[in-house]
Structure 1
Amino acid sequence: MTTSYYPAGPLPDDGAGPQGPDIARTESGLYVPAQPVRPDPETMSSEEYLAACVAQMRAELLDTDGLDKIPPLEPLLGDLLQLNTTARFIGPSGTFKSFLILDMAGHIGTGMQWHGHYVRQGTVVYLVAEGEQGIRKRVRAWEQHHGVRMDNVAFLPRPVQAKSPEWTVFTELARQLEPVFVVIDTQARVSVGVEENSNKEMGEVVDRMDDLRRATGACIGLVHHTGHQGEHGRGASAVKGAMQSEVTITKKGEHVESITLTVKSSKQKDEEQGRDLLFGLKRISLDGEYKPDGRPVTSLVVESLDAMPERPPEPGTPEWIVRELDKAQVPYGWGRDRVKAKCQELGIKAATAKIEEAVRIRKARGKNLPADLPPAESDEPAPAQGAGQTEIPDQTCPAGSEGRSGQGAANLPAPSLSLGRGQVGHTGHTCTACGLPLDAEWAELGHDRHVTC
């Protein structure tokens, strides 16, 4: 016997229309089959099978009242991650992505707040598809730093290929463990042989991740690298489109003590992206563990910088040179040559380009200066011959009382860079020694005094 199904629509006001046990009416007046017949191609004709499939899909339709039955996204970690979603963590190689994600996993497993952000405690499954030999000491460093065991985090220290039959095994294992967070570190190591730039092939990989998500209800976190240029994840663009969230991690600085990691929510489908988060690194010497030469075994942990005082600049950078010059109370108006000489005096070894950048930074600060820093003008006494004398065209130094010929070396005028171009037009730059105007082009080259001063 074939069950008849009718198009969804409002029931007539007089109550006429399809009736019977197969019909249900929603609050908004639409009627749908109450119990659709399960499609069975073995026992149904092709017409009956199609009708049953349509009825089954019709039963899945929701009106505006039915939308309230869809559960909202549940936060897993702050505003970055939600349950039952797929997320991706991207960044250039060497930006300590795995350290950050292991830190997230540890906080989720133990239920501790993640640097002041909400955490939903639960089991974490961490697929260590690369770098498995280093994971132990990273975990030990985290435990030693926080003073707790990294409980409720299970590690599988080998890759499982997403397009292999073994992925079904991994998915079933994860389903049984009921995790809230599954980390795949990295995307490239579980998709070996897949054309990374192919939207079709990578779409199949994303489908496998969705199978894992549907089976567990967890947040599936993929770790991936960006390309050599740009801030986008390497490979097919369709992968980002399928993600609920994408988190970008960048690094500034070279030495552990001065490295700053920036965590940016670069995509959130249904949530506000939020502000960037800043982290630093701390080196941990593992208790009781030593290398063959007696040095301690070390690893790194991440620390939030958002609630910490500003870190000092890295030695050798222009910002560090600025700080050292300020400490030495060097007048901020000094040009490159005098600052370079002062750096040598202070034992600061730096390339000319970095010194020039430090000079630009100091001059650009304007009014934002340390209260005890000397003014731009030098407090050294000016040479006597520079007082109260007049300037001669094409001359960047005052003329002596004896004229321009036959003068001693101390009274020779500075060479002008604008010879043959008429009289020099001054733009406010003055010699820090004698106080008289400097040639504009001479000053633009970074000089702050006449040659003879």
Structure 2
Amino acid sequence: MATNTRLKALPKPHEQIFIDTVRRIREKQLTKREEIPDLPKDMGEKASALLLAMTDFEEIGFWQAYDALAEDTPQLRGWKDIITTAAPPGEKPNEVSDERFLISQSGRRLLKLSTIEDIYALPDALPLIAGVLEAGSVSMLYGVSGTGKTFIGLDVALSISHGIPWQGRKVQLGTAWYINTEGKRGLKKRLQAWYKEHETLTPTLDHFKIIPWSLDMRVYTQELIETIVDQEESPALIVVDNFSMCTPGIDQNKQEQVAPVLQLINTLAADYNCHLLIIHHTNKAGDVNGTMAFRNHVDTMIEVVKEDAADRESPILFRCMKARDAEPFSDIRTELKPVLLAIHPETRELITSCVVISPLNPTPSLQDGLSDIEKNIFDLLGDGTRTYTDWKKECLKEFGIAKATFDRKRDLLLNKGLIERVQMPGKVYEGYQKRSQQPRNAWNE
């Protein structure tokens, strides 16, 4: 049975105060109406009713009243186990069920402070995919339509569930859950193609589970958490494919709507040491769609981009755009390989899907394929950081090209991963610099 250190239902602060108050009523630590802390009106009334029942009819009456209130407020059922767990006798102050807080002897809710020793005692982060993803963290995979995001997410999940290397990198064997929002039939073909490509593996395994509908993560939070708790082993990976379908109606440009969902996702990752991989879309400018909350509240940002945007069959780059606690990994080069599944017996139509594979051709130098003018523009950027204006002016003067030509070549260099945008120190505008290529980590081999 999976466990965590916080409440299963992740109560809000006023709900947690209510839970602690009701537990103290049951334990006869709170015996007077005026001792009930300030609560929303309906919760205050419920607490008063339970206090009266406990005073007049002892614990039998308390639980009868509690069960009656739960008929109208189903949340109370999920809190019953917490309320029945007595606080350790003589503990000062009493620890509440949420490890982030303490209850003082006077009943006040206090923050629990950690020491440096507490932080040092935390377990070290473990790799889920060596050098790419860590257990107990959150990543976002995004890209324009047609870059194979779903195929990559599925490939990652199945590799972990079978414990086979992903793109040559070691993985930690574990259970993977896949929240599929784009149709069961499409997923069926993708799974058939993957197992046809990996013909030595069998699809009858317990380490891969599917939620085959658009799970609204705000509405079904309780059910999701209870399902995780009900497992003998927590999932090592949950793929959310995709964010938009699992948060219907949300305004992705408003931080106050997006941030609470990402907070929930981060809590799930931390409480169950599970990696959550969120698949998301880009906006018209080609960047991740929505508020900066996406970038701020995930540990790893991964862009999926074609090496050559004009070539439909171009290799696809798996590119790290943010790594919170490590150096960004080098671009991982992949390809989508078509797989023939069957021929329709009546229409003779080919039934196909795709799988993610390592490129058949060796990885080229990043500057392979650049024209002379593109190489010159790249070289003129130098080894430091330059503003767009300074770099453009020198290129226009040196090579006699138009501004529109410079902009096209700059975009090509960005897309190939040769250069990157950076924030200029003390400036509101961005600059450009050559993108450093990180050496391969020994874990990746």
TM-score over 0.5 for the pair: yes
Q: 1:268 aligned to 2:320?
A: no
Q: 1:217 Cα deviation (Å)?
A: 1.8
Secondary structure of the equivalent of 1:48?
A: coil
State how far apart, in whole Å, the 2-side matches of 1:250 and 1:186 are. 17
Q: Going by fraction, where is helix more abundant, 1 or 2?
A: 2
State how far apart, in whole Å, the 2-side matches of 1:210 and 1:267 are. 16
Identical residues among aligned pairs (%): 22
State how far apart, in whole Å, the 2-side matches of 1:234 and 1:224 are. 8
Q: Amino acid of the residue matched to residue 91 of structure 1?
A: G
CA RMSD of aligned residues (A): 3.1
Number of aligned positions between the proteins: 274
Change (3 A) 1:162 1:45: closer
Q: Runs (4+) of structure 1 moved beyond 6 Å?
A: 44-47, 362-366
- Could you tell me which residue of structure 2 aligns to residue 116 of structure 1? 168
Q: Amino acid of the residue matched to residue 62 of structure 1?
A: T
Q: Deviations over 1:314-371 (max 9, x none)?
A: xxxxx7xxxxxxxxxxxxxxxxxxxxxxxxxxxxxxxxxxxxxxxx9589999xxxxx
Matches within 5 A, 1:245-264: 245-251=300-306, 252-253=308-309, 258-264=313-319
- Could you tell me which residue of structure 2 aligns to residue 301 of structure 1? 355
Check conservation: 1:88, 1:223, Cα contact below 8 A: yes
Q: 1:228 aligned to 2:281?
A: no
Matches within 5 A, 1:90-105: 90-105=142-157
- Could you tell me which residue of structure 1 aligns to residue 123 of structure 2? 71
Q: Amino acid of the residue matched to residue 170 of structure 2?
A: Y
- Could you tell me which residue of structure 2 aligns to residue 348 of structure 1? none
Q: 1:149 aligned to 2:207?
A: no
Check conservation: 2:138, 2:265, Cα contact below 8 A: yes
State how far apart, in whole Å, the 2-side matches of 1:275 and 1:214 are. 26
Q: Deviations over 1:143-189 (max 9, x none)?
A: 0101112432111110111221x231022213333110001100000
Of stretches 77-86 and 167-176 in structure 1, the one that deviates more from structure 2 is: 167-176
State how far apart, in whole Å, the 1-side matches of 2:280 and 2:373 are. 42
Matches within 5 A, 1:355-394: 361=371
Check conservation: 2:93, 2:103, Cα contact below 8 A: no
Change (3 A) 1:191 1:291: farther
Matches within 5 A, 1:16-415: 35-38=91-94, 48-50=106-108, 53-54=109-110, 57-58=112-113, 61-63=114-116, 65-147=117-199, 148-150=201-203, 151=205, 152-164=207-219, 166-177=220-231, 178-231=234-287, 233-251=288-306, 252-253=308-309, 258-286=313-341, 288-290=342-344, 292-305=346-359, 308-309=361-362, 361=371
What is the TM-score of this pair, normalised by structure 1? 0.55
Check conservation: 2:163, 2:172, Cα contact below 8 A: yes
Secondary structure of the equivalent of 2:93?
A: coil
Q: 1:36 Cα deviation (Å)?
A: 3.7
The unaligned stretches of length 5 or more in structure 2 are 1-28, 30-89, 97-101, 377-445
State how far apart, in whole Å, the 1-side matches of 2:162 and 2:176 are. 10
Change (3 A) 1:163 1:125: same
Q: 1:35 Cα deviation (Å)?
A: 4.8
Check conservation: 2:319, 2:330, Cα contact below 8 A: yes
Secondary structure of the equivalent of 1:49?
A: coil
Q: Amino acid of the residue matched to residue 189 of structure 2?
A: K
Q: Deviations over 1:116-165 (max 9, x none)?
A: 1010011001000224320011011010101112432111110111221x
